[in-house]
């Protein structure tokens, strides 16, 4: 049992944001399985307040990319998951947004399990109204939460990144009572 626990913890710690992709096909079934993992995220009252638009079409990817400084990431990714808060399912905004965060983390971990690269793009929220327009979604019903870009990892680019990942020590942000 302890070995499995250590493997899971190592797996979680090994997940990284990937921003460079090879444009290689990813089977739809893999994205379905990644979304299946996402849907098991906890949500208050089990309301599952998420709506996802899976984007692979080059024109729509380009339209989304025009709304962020990370346009190259969106255009290089094979799929982009455009994640919205479905306001019609909401019952408590803070709890619902926390649920979306858990949903996104499940997606990132599932992509990692498939040896795919993925990155959570939040900067695009500066243009959330324009993203709603692209999908013809009413702002009173849907609020953009992020885009998750997913693709095959460009190992050559990944290997060129030598900077070590840093995290604060647990002791820096934790108090025990």
| pLDDT averages per 10-residue partition of the chain, 177 residues | 91 96 96 98 97 98 98 98 98 97 98 98 98 98 98 78 80 95
* CB distance 144 to 64 below 8 Å: no
CA distances from 143 to 51, 134, 156 (A): 9, 13, 36
**Within a 13 Å sphere around the CA of 161, how many CA atoms are in the beta-carbon half?**
12
CA distances from 155 to 12, 27, 52, 129 (A): 20, 20, 28, 35
State the Cα–Cα distance between residues 81 and 110, nearest whole angstrom.
13
Architecture of domain 17-154: 3-Layer(aba) Sandwich (3.40)
> What pLDDT shows up at residue 146?
98
3-state secondary structure of 54: strand
- Give one word for 72, left, alpha or beta, with left for phi > 0 and alpha for psi -120 to 50: alpha
State the Cα–Cα distance between residues 133 and 142, nearest whole angstrom.
11
> What pLDDT shows up at residue 165?
80
* CB distance 55 to 135 below 8 Å: no
CA distances from 23 to 55, 66, 77, 167 (A): 14, 19, 7, 31
Spatial CA neighbour of 82 closest among 25, 143, 30, 29 = 143
State the Cα–Cα distance between residues 111 and 40, nearest whole angstrom.
15
> What pLDDT shows up at residue 139?
97
> What pLDDT shows up at residue 172?
95
Our measurement of the distance from residue 161's CA atom to the centroid of its chain's CA atoms, rounded to an integer in Å, reads: 21
**Is the full-model pTM beyond 0.85?**
yes
> What pLDDT shows up at residue 158?
60
> What pLDDT shows up at residue 1?
62
CA distances from 129 to 13, 133, 171 (A): 34, 6, 40
């Amino acid at each position: 049992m302890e070995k499995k626990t250590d493997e899971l913890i190592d797996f979680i710690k090994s997940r990284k944001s990937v921003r460079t992709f090879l444009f290689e096909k990813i089977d739809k079934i893999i994205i379905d399985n990644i979304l299946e993992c996402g849907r098991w995220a906890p949500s208050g009252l089990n309301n599952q307040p998420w709506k996802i638009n899976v984007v692979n079409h080059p024109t729509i990817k380009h339209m989304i990319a025009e709304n962020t400084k990370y346009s190259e990431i969106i255009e290089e990714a094979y799929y982009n998951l455009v994640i919205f808060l479905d306001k019609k399912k909401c019952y408590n905004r803070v709890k619902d947004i926390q649920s979306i965060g858990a949903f996104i983390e499940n997606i990132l971990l599932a992509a990692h399990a498939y040896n795919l690269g993925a990155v959570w793009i939040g900067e695009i929220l500066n243009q959330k109204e324009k993203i709603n327009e692209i999908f013809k979604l009413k702002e009173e019903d849907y609020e953009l939460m992020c885009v998750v870009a997913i693709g095959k990892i460009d190992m050559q680019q990944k290997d060129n990144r030598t900077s070590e990942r840093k995290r604060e020590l647990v002791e820096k942000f934790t108090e025990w009572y």
